Structure 1
Amino acid sequence: MSKYSQTEQQAAITELWYTRCPVPTVSGLALDLGWLDKTFAENAIAFRSLRVVEDRSVRESHYDHTLKGLFREGGNIPAIWARATGKDTRVIGLTWVDEYQAILTLPDSEINQPEDLYKRKLGLPQRVESQIDFSRAMALRGFLSALSVVGLDENDVNFVDVTAEQTDLREPTNSIRSNFYYAEIAALLRGEVDAVYVKGAPGVDLTTEHGLKVVIDLGSHPDPLVRVNNGTPRTITVNADLVEQRPDLVAQYLACLFQTSRWAETHDQDVVRIVSQETGGGEAAVRKAYGTKLHQRLQPTLSNEWISALKLHKDFLLKWGFIPADFDINAWIVLEPFAQAQKLIKESKRWEDKLLA
């Protein structure tokens, strides 16, 4: 039972906020279709993008989740970090889209397989201005996963810092191509490092553009635990006070995502187009990076397997000093909004009728 009174639960809310990472998210699809705007317009609530705010300190809520009434779907590292630093958030859903996660080297390199990384220089991006350097954590996880499959570890390689620019937090446009891995690729091309980690559609584009050699694609490894990283699984989070005070709005948000993922299952090309714009990668790269069944893999869930994977990654971040404190993953996750959203979908056709109108 909520600790808030019924009056407090029905407190007037005139605006809510959203943000998502430049990756395949069901939120990104719902936003492109205008369905989340419709969902909250019924409640006379404006649904606003965090990434159009000019004040960078406000946009930083994408990482630190300080803005009230914020829904976020994206990489789990910033979400885990925010919770570990005391932000009172809740996980209301998870998604898992396996993606291209590659260790790359130069085409004429003698490195052909993970075993050949022994004693090599591996580039770790370093964004010193970032609140949480998720790109560094992501690359380190990728390298250590690649080493683990051949019985190597961090003591068998040499990590080299690669200075990279702080990431921008703007709405994507068709004219902007992702430059997320440029610093690492440049270091590789200059011979300063022997291998780098990339992922997603931008990673595919860079691999093709420079003719780079794939040492291993972790995203296609048969063991899901090897594939665990910032994007697998992705977290859907919201401020805890909104869950407590207005669980109805949280359920409506999730119900909209459920309906959107159902729509995606029969709209392959539309999904590729939207994800291409979201990621800054070409459509061919989207298909290669996320597979031919991307449109069927966007359904949020809270499976025990995915929750276990999230805990595994939290433990990794704690071990390597990316988060300052431990916390209970199970206590971070709330099941009620998910169940309520499923009930909304099951008991009423108004969701489908409203969104498709």
Structure 2
Amino acid sequence: MADILDRPAPAATTPAPTTATRQAWYTICPTFVASNVAQEFGWIEEELRKVGASLSYLRGLPVEQGYLPHFSHRFEHLFRDGGNIPSIWAKADNVDTTLIGLTEARHGGTIVVRADDPAPRVAALKGRRFGLSKSDNPAKVDWWRATSEQGVLNALRLAGLTREDVAIVDIAQEDRGFGAAARPSELWARRRADLVFTPEARALQAGEVDAIFASHGRALGLVRTGSFKIVEDFSRYPDWTLQVSNSPYALTVNTDFARANRDIVVAFLRASVRAARWLAANPEAGASILHRVTYHPSVADTRAAIRDTDFLPTLSERKLAGIDRQKAFLVERGYVRRDFDSRDWADGSYLDEALATS
């Protein structure tokens, strides 16, 4: 165990494709997915080498090349793992992709107010101002706003309120991308503070709004400053539909590439399956690895957050039902223009082969 944890992270490279080496690219959100562990250990590169392929990190490209494709999937030979809102938007309105795996975490998010606010729960926020981020970048789906809006509406419903009972305040965000990095852990290490003190959090702190939606990890970071408190936490409910907030996490790949390079897709999944099984056997060590690529305040917080996470990709009916719920919300609220059948999007044959050969 110590050997693998002490091993230096493999250097990310961008090898030039040759007639002997097929090129694949990857991008992963800062979420609790097995792919994040597989790439930190170099297992995806290892599995791809076995089938004569190489791997490069999309966000290692200059920001004008690597930022928007992370959301739109408009990049040849790309694997994407993470939040499902960009993945749904990419499939609906951008490019043909195939869904090859789903995982999920039971967090759902929180509603946060200032610590000095007398409101003990969301019901006491009737007539108050809820801040929602609004991207100034029309070239991509506003996934951050969609996640927050869904969370706010869920919280209001639980409190017996409606959207009309509160004021929604837009908080502009430039949303033009940021830097490049050799690998995800390098990219997110630079952004950890920004992912907690978002424009909405700063607006809340300044008194410009009274409440915001925040993911579980971000809310912990805010609360520990002493300036904020949580008045709703969806993770405390057994209702799985309240956890559909950019989750289940979707692992997708460009369809043409997948059909022409089945062995590469299976190899990528094999690495993720390997990482999922390692995480199940090594949760403490896994928390240390995942902390590099996510943004809970500490390794201990990360360990607590992944306690009930099943990292093994599946395409179960329950997870696909979660995708359907997310997609219906996105279509209804205008974040996505076109609808599609998630069962047609999903192809479990690649995962079946990966499981059989792992």
Distance in 1 between the 2:20 and 2:328 partners? 39
2:92 alignment partner in structure 1: 84
Unmatched runs of 5 consecutive residues or more in structure 1: 1-10, 346-357
Report the equivalent of 1:17: 25
- Please report how far the alpha carbon of residue 293 of structure 1 lies from its aligned counterpart in structure 2 after TM superposition: 4.0
| Alpha-carbon distance in 1 for matches of 2:351, 2:167 | 44
Moved more, 93-102 or 62-71: 93-102
Residue 319 of structure 1: aligned partner: 332
% of aligned pairs identical? 29
CA drift at 1:178: 3.8
Structure 1 residue aligned with 2:341? 328
Counterpart CA distance in 2 for 1:200 and 1:94 is 20
CA distance in 2, matches of 1:175, 1:157: 35
Using a 3 Å threshold, how does the CA distance of structure 1 residues 169 and 236 change in structure 2: closer, same or farther?
Answer: farther
Specify the SS of the correspondent of 1:179: helix
- Select 1:208's aligned residue among 221, 224, 237: 224
276, 285, 303: which one pairs with 1:261? 276
Letter in 2 for 1:327: F
CA contact (8 A) 2:63 2:179 kept: no
Residue 283 to residue 24, structure 1, CA distance change in 2 (3 Å): same
Match of 1:107 among 103, 115, 120: 115
The corresponding residue for 1:69 is 77
Query: What is the CA–CA distance in structure 2 between the aligned matches of 1:221 and 1:168, rounded to whole Å?
Result: 36
Q: Which amino acid aligns with 1:261?
A: A
Counterpart position of 1:350: none
**2:199 equivalent among 166, 170, 183:** 183
List per-residue Cα deviations over 1:127-170 (Å, max 9, x = no partner). Answer: 21251111100100110111112332212111100122425374
2:142 and 2:236 mapped to 1: Cα distance? 25
Quote the offset at 1:339 in angstroms.
Answer: 1.4
Do 1:202 and 1:285's aligned partners in 2 also have CA atoms closer than 8 Å? no
Paired residue type of 1:203: A
Question: What is the aligned partner in structure 2 of residue 162 from structure 1?
Answer: 171
Match of 2:157 among 148, 151, 156: 148
Match of 1:342 in 2: 355
d(CA) in 1 for partners of 2:68, 2:219:
24
User: Counterpart amino acid of 1:107?
Assistant: A
Q: How far apart, CA to CA, are the structure 2 residues paired with 1:77 and 1:54?
A: 24
What residue in structure 2 maps to residue 272 of structure 1? Answer: 287
TM-score by length of 1: 0.88
2:44 to 31, 36, 45: 36
Q: Answer whether contact 1:100 1:201 (CA < 8 A) is retained.
A: no
Q: What corresponds to 2:244 in structure 1? A: 228
| 1:84 Cα deviation after fit | 1.2
Q: Equivalents in 1 of 2:314, 2:277: separation in Å?
A: 13
Flag the 1:233–1:84 CA change in 2: closer, same or farther, 3 A. Answer: same
Q: What residue is the counterpart of 1:308 in the other structure?
A: 321
State the alpha-carbon separation in 2 of the partners of residues 311 and 175 from structure 1. 34
Residues 165, 24 of structure 1: alpha-carbon distance in 2 compared, 3 angstrom cutoff: farther
Between Structure 1 and Structure 2, how many residues are aligned? 331
Moved over 6 A (4+): none
Per the alignment, residue 292 of structure 1 pairs with: 307
One-letter code of the match for 2:214? V
Structure-1 separation of matches of 2:350 and 2:339: 25
Unpaired runs of 5+ in structure 2? 1-18
Residues 154 and 332 from structure 1, CA distance in 2 versus in 1: closer, same or farther, beyond 3 angstroms? same
Report the alpha carbon displacement of residue 251 of structure 1 after superposing the two structures with TM: 1.5
Say which SS state the counterpart of residue 242 (structure 2) adopts.
Answer: helix
In 2, Cα distance between the equivalents of 1:100 and 1:322? Answer: 19
Q: Does 1:193 align with 2:209?
A: yes
In 2, are the aligned partners of 1:84 and 1:325 still within 8 Å (CA)?
yes
